[in-house]
Every structure is written in structure tokens, then in C-alpha cells.
Amino acid sequence: MLIDGRLFKHSIVTIGAAAVEAMSHVNADLYFMGVTGVHPAAGLSTGDFEEAHIKRSLAARAAETVVLASAAKLNAASAYRIGGIELAQTVIVEASTDAQLTALLEAAGVTVLRA
């Protein structure tokens, strides 16, 4: 199923008022969210204003949000905040990610899975 709206090709996410309205009819058990920044204090972020709004709306409709982030995105913040770190219950990182990069996330109560 594809949420209605305008396609933001960079992230392959639909955006706009039609997308937000379509999401109001969805209840998800699990939402896998891609981000460009995961920071214990600044929260989850992305480089596009509308994309941040869409991701925030989807997370609000999901029972659980899992964030996918490479090591380069950890302890980094982009221009537009999606929400606080508590928005994610789990963050999936590469198996080789340095434990120092994930320590603050784990201290904030986020489960970190290495894949």
C-alpha cells in the first residue's frame, strides 16, 4: 500500500496534505523509519521539513517505531526535528558500530540492535 500524496524522490516518501490525511486512517503495529540524525538530546531528525512532518505523523499512528541508522547518523542532528529520542523504541545499527556511539541512546532507554 502506498500512502497518497506527492512523492519526495530523495527519500521515497510521500508528502503533503493528502499523505497526512491518508495516514489518519492507518493503525500500524510496527513502523520502520529512516532518519538522517539520531541524537540523544536533539532527537530524531531529517533534512526536509515536510518529510519530518510525515514521519512524525506515521510514528504517532504506530504502536512501535524502529529507526534504521548507519553509524554516521548517530549523535548527529539534521535541520528538521521529527521528534524526541523517545519516539523510537528501537534503533537498528550496523554490527560494527562502536559501542561509544550507542551508549547515550541506551542510557536514554532506547533498545539498540546490531545487524
Beta bridge partners of 46: 80
In a domain, 7, yes or no: no
What distance in Å separates the CA atoms of residue 57 and residue 20, rounded to the nearest whole number?
A: 7
Is the confidence at residue 115, as pLDDT, over 90? yes
Per the structure, the count of domains in the chain is: 1
State percent of the chain over pLDDT 90: 76
In a domain, 84, yes or no: yes
pLDDT at 33: 96
What is the distance of C-alpha 24 from the center of its chain?
Answer: 18
Q: Is residue 15 part of a domain?
A: no
Question: What pTM value is reported for the model?
Answer: 0.89
Note down the domain range covering 81. 28-114
Please write the tens of the pLDDT for every residue from 87-106.
999 999 999 999 999 999 99
Q: Is residue 16 part of a domain?
A: no
Contact between 113 and 91 (Cβ < 8 Å): yes
Is the predicted pLDDT of residue 1 greater than 80, yes or no? no
CA distance linking residue 85 with residue 14, whole number of Å:
23
Q: Contact, 58 vs 34, CB < 8 A?
A: no
